[in-house]
Amino acid sequence: MDEHIAPVPMEKAYRLLNHGPTVLVSARHGGVDDVMAAAWACALDYSPPKLTVVLDRSTKTRQLVEKAGTFVIQVPTVAQARLTYQVGHRSLFTDVDKLKHCGVSLFEVDGHDLPFVSGCSAWLACKLVPEPHNQETYDLFIGECVGAWADTRVFEDGHWNFERANPDLRSLHYIAGGQFYAIGESLNVDE
Amino acid sequence: MDEHIAPVPMEKAYRLLNHGPTVLVSARHGGVDDVMAAAWACALDYSPPKLTVVLDRSTKTRQLVEKAGTFVIQVPTVAQARLTYQVGHRSLFTDVDKLKHCGVSLFEVDGHDLPFVSGCSAWLACKLVPEPHNQETYDLFIGECVGAWADTRVFEDGHWNFERANPDLRSLHYIAGGQFYAIGESLNVDE
């Protein structure tokens, strides 16, 4: 694991998604790994941390999630905009070398048989909370976070510090047609 | 209705939320209006546009949503950071003048008996898609969008243009403890 990656306490894990970044979803089953992009991912609870993610039925990643019952949600960076776009527009069903063609490299984390995408700023290992009605009707999946990590250059002591980190580490917020926004400046409201 | 507000075509309405902004949720029932903040709101479908939003059971707004079966999701701006924080931290249960104390002003839209918050950049009028199990178990509510509008100074022809608009119109992305990020710069990946 990269020297900059450190665990995030479970009670702070929701903060990795609270600002609404576009994420990468990765999963592994039967020796197959896949990674897709998802703009529709969202925190759902604090403790234990839970999240929702919409997984279209046309994706191989969804099949792997359904079979394995586990997945990773990770936060890609500005440096990964092209990778993020590409994993969202190529399918493992038609391109068996999708991950290579998209420039994805994976790493392992002890104790989790899951594919983690290198170069992201944060990772949430999740177990699927089965809700067949939501999955079938809305393509809506619920995950419970069982491990969280972040790149300490951009998330430390429970806080993002995008404003002080390299701009290449900012999160991506997808709109459509290849257009993203990067996260911007910090604002503080006195409590 | 403000001269800058224009309808958004239903097929483009998902883009109002696609970049993951913190939103304001408003609802009306029995002569009572309330507004709350929600960082956990997310697009769910394109056509008809649907969305999810997490509404804590301690909020009056949730009661109104449950009773009325309708609500508005709106995208507040940098200029409304304090208002957004305050409507998320005061309750109509304990402060009957909450909206006045938070500086909220409301406007009406013909054909929708709903409270719309002035000064936001976008509005989605929604009808509740009742899912009692999700609501009770996860505080998770699904809405189907029945009308969408945006401020043409920052969203026009189906696209946000944060990078060209007044920075006060940028969307807010809440973290915790009164800290928000504004949305930042635009990036385009060639398709």
The string of pLDDT tens digits covering residues A74-114 is 999 999 999 999 999 999 999 999 999 999 999 999 999 99
Mean pLDDT for the stretch of residues B110-122: 97
Q: Do B183 and A187 touch (CB under 8 A)?
A: no
Q: By percentage, how much of chain B surpasses pLDDT 70? A: 99
Report pTM: 0.97
Contacts of B185 in chain A (CB under 8 A): 181-182, 184
The single residue listed with the structure tokens 């694991």 is A1
Contacts of A40 in chain B (CB under 8 A): 18, 42-44
Smallest Cα–Cα separation from B40: which of B50, B27, B26, B55? B55
Domains of chain A and CATH, by start: 5-182 (2.30.110.10)
For residue A43, list its beta bridge partners: A51
Q: Do B184 and A186 touch (CB under 8 A)?
A: no
pLDDT tens per residue across span B62-85: 999 999 999 999 999 999 999 999
Q: In whole angstroms, what is the distance from residue B39 CA to residue A181 CA?
A: 18
User: Which token pair is A173?
Assistant: 């917020």
Q: In whole angstroms, what is the distance from residue B150 CA to residue B186 CA?
A: 19
Q: Do A138 and B179 touch (CB under 8 A)?
A: no
Contacts of B154 in chain A (CB under 8 A): none
Mean pLDDT for the stretch of residues A56-76: 98
Q: Which residue in B50, B172, B187 is closest to A180 by CB distance?
A: B187
Burial of B76 (0-12, 13-18, 19+ CB in 10 A): buried
SS3 B126: strand
Interface test with B, best of A50, A173, A186, A188 (most B CBs within 10 A): A173
Whether A191 has a pLDDT exceeding 90, the answer reads no
pLDDT tens per residue across span A112-142: 999 999 999 999 999 999 999 999 999 999 9
Q: Which residue in A140, A178, A187 is closest to B189 by CB distance?
A: A178
Interface test with A, best of B179, B186, B191 (most A CBs within 10 A): B179
Whether B120 has a pLDDT exceeding 70, the answer reads yes
On average, the pLDDT of chain A sits at 97
Q: In whole angstroms, what is the distance from residue A131 CA to residue A15 CA?
A: 24
Q: In whole angstroms, what is the distance from residue A35 CA to residue A101 CA?
A: 12
Whether B1 has a pLDDT exceeding 80, the answer reads no
Mean pLDDT for the stretch of residues B20-49: 98
Whether B191 has a pLDDT exceeding 80, the answer reads no
CA distances from A15 to A20, A100, A124, A154, B168 (A): 10, 31, 11, 13, 24
Nearest CA in chain B to A155: B175
Cβ-contact A51, A1 below 8 angstroms:
no
CA distance B31 to chain A (A): 30
Q: Do A183 and B181 touch (CB under 8 A)?
A: yes
Cβ-contact A154, A169 below 8 angstroms:
yes
Interface test with B, best of A12, A17, A22, A42 (most B CBs within 10 A): A42
Q: Do A21 and B21 touch (CB under 8 A)?
A: no
Here the ipTM equals 0.96
CA distance A173 to chain B (A): 4
On average, the pLDDT of chain B sits at 97
pLDDT band at A1 (very low <50, low <70, confident <90, very high): confident
Whether B190 has a pLDDT exceeding 90, the answer reads no
